[in-house]
Chain A
């Protein structure tokens, strides 16, 4: 079942957005192995994009590490809510440090969706199949995107690069958590502005400002509306 679930929209979206990432790595002038290893190793598109952009910018290493880790910080709350799902199963629990490496927004949602109908012992095998398909789709997408980037006309390549950020804009805009939505809006406004002030440090600074604004704006709205 995990395999079958993998072959639906999640795998398609992974392939499409990783096509864009492959083209992006190519346009950045980096090698195919870098594209593949960064995909499997970071396995989180915003962090991957931050990594490439920072290498392009030639920014300080400390700033890049903060940006990449902050861009992937969502993995902390995600794994916090995800890992306990395997607690009821000995074999599932044993592999938990591998499961979190295979975790992306796609595979996290994919498992959460199926949890009510899966026994704890079935979750490990389901998740292994599902996330393997997504990983293969991702690596395939990246390789194809990278290799095609050389032969494709400019308007196609540029669109593939554009698919990445815009896909995430919609994934996040579809969220139902108000605090996160508010933070997302605040970040969209202050991101480019802070970038004009300090390109290298703009992401961590924008994240903290927008996150704090979003968090407290949500608290305020709760109080006002009761």
Chain B
């Protein structure tokens, strides 16, 4: 179908993918089963939500600081600068998610393009 990375076998990704889908549905299904039986305001669930958000933040922050894959070929200062620029716009426009995303992405695109052209 397409290129297969050296360290990933042809069968490997599919087996891993179906396991990933199963563990994801576990949360959805579990929530559905116990929806009738648990208080959605309980402290345990609040803590669970915090763990989820902490983990997502760790993932995003790692991708900016220590990326794996294609982003690895960009400069840290570019990724960081674009993120900070996006956050400035985001807060200037009363936490506008769309504008923040567009600004950060636009800034990175400009920086990477400028480096490719030898301007930076």
Contact = CB atoms under 8 A, between A and B. Distances in A.
In the complex, the 5 A-B pairs of residues with the closest C-beta atoms, listed nearest first: A210-B54, A191-B58, A207-B55, A79-B31, A187-B57
B24 A41 contact: yes
A215 B50 contact: yes
Of the candidates B7, B59, B79, B83, the one having the most CB atoms from chain A within 10 angstroms of its own CB is: B59
A41 B35 CA distance: 22
Interface residues of B, number: 77
A56 interface: yes
B92 interface: no
19 contacts: A31-B13, A42-B20, A49-B63, A69-B27, A70-B52, A72-B27, A79-B35, A100-B31, A154-B116, A157-B70, A159-B105, A167-B97, A169-B60, A183-B51, A185-B57, A192-B65, A195-B62, A213-B54, A218-B50
Contacts of B48: 73, 76-77, 211
B31 A191 contact: no
B28 A166 contact: no
A57 B68 contact: yes
A165 B32 contact: no
Interface of B: 1-5, 7-8, 12-14, 16-21, 23-32, 34-36, 38, 40, 45-66, 68-71, 73-74, 79, 82-83, 86-87, 90, 95, 97-98, 100-101, 104-105, 108-109, 112-113, 116
A179 B25 CA distance: 26
B27 A73 contact: yes
A148 interface: no
A83 B35 contact: yes
Contacts of B17: 34, 37-38, 41, 51
Contacts of B105: 159, 162-163, 166
A33 B26 contact: no
Given A68-B24, A76-B31, A166-B105, A53 B53 contact: no
Contacts of A156: 109
